[in-house]
Amino acid sequence: MNASPMTARFLTEKQRVLAVYRIRSNKTGILNRQFKWNQVEEALNPFKDPQGLLLFLTIYCNEVLNGGFGAFGTLTIQSFGFDSLQSTLIYIPQGFINMVCILFGGWLAQKLPNARIYVCIGMLVPTFIGVLLQVVLPRWNVAGLLVGVYMFPPFATCLFIVLSLPGVNSSGYTKRITLSSYAFFGYALGNITGPFTVKTGETPAYRSVFIADIVCIGLQGK
């Protein structure tokens, strides 16, 4: 497969020109690895294009969830009265639910035109309900609390959908890699921040992590 219409040997000279014009109308462009500082400025300056800042904040909030309750979920399950081994076994289905949600969310975002953001918001709803159950239900209601734990994984779908946005919503090689780097900075910072929301002195409820997660979900939804 040729990397560009300009190098496609199966096209005539006229067809190559027409192919380039078609790409230009889609604003996707031909791969040009020349680094352009004006595109870096445009990607990082929210007054010129707020997309970069929104990507950073969305992924940052998403990964605070992942680095908090997502990483320390077994501690929460232990607080329901299970031992360490039981908590690990009970937590295993979360991985399967996570996989199904990512596959379903990706399929849905592909099938519905211009609906990536709406799919992300839809995936945050069950996570929000699951986290809210951890706050409002009494600790003796183990069944309800476990339902909340299993409703948590869909939020992870947002990461993969949002990471695809620079490639479809921006033109220019330099701008795309800058936006992607900005997004991954939010990913790293969120995963660093998340564990600090888990306070051992709050056992068994860990209310801080759930309140932080609710705030982050609300910010993502906006």
In the chain the domains, ranked by start, together with CATH numbers, are 1-31 (no CATH), 35-221 (1.20.1250.20)
Choice among 2-6, 123-127, 196-200, 208-212 with the minimum mean pLDDT: 2-6
- The 10s digit of each residue's pLDDT in 105-146 is 989 988 888 888 899 899 999 999 999 998 888 888 989 999
User: Looking at residue 30, what is its pLDDT?
Assistant: 56
Burial of 181 (0-12, 13-18, 19+ CB in 10 A): middle
Contacts of 195 (CB under 8 A, 6+ apart): 67, 68, 71, 72
- The 10s digit of each residue's pLDDT in 163-184 is 888 877 777 778 888 888 888 9
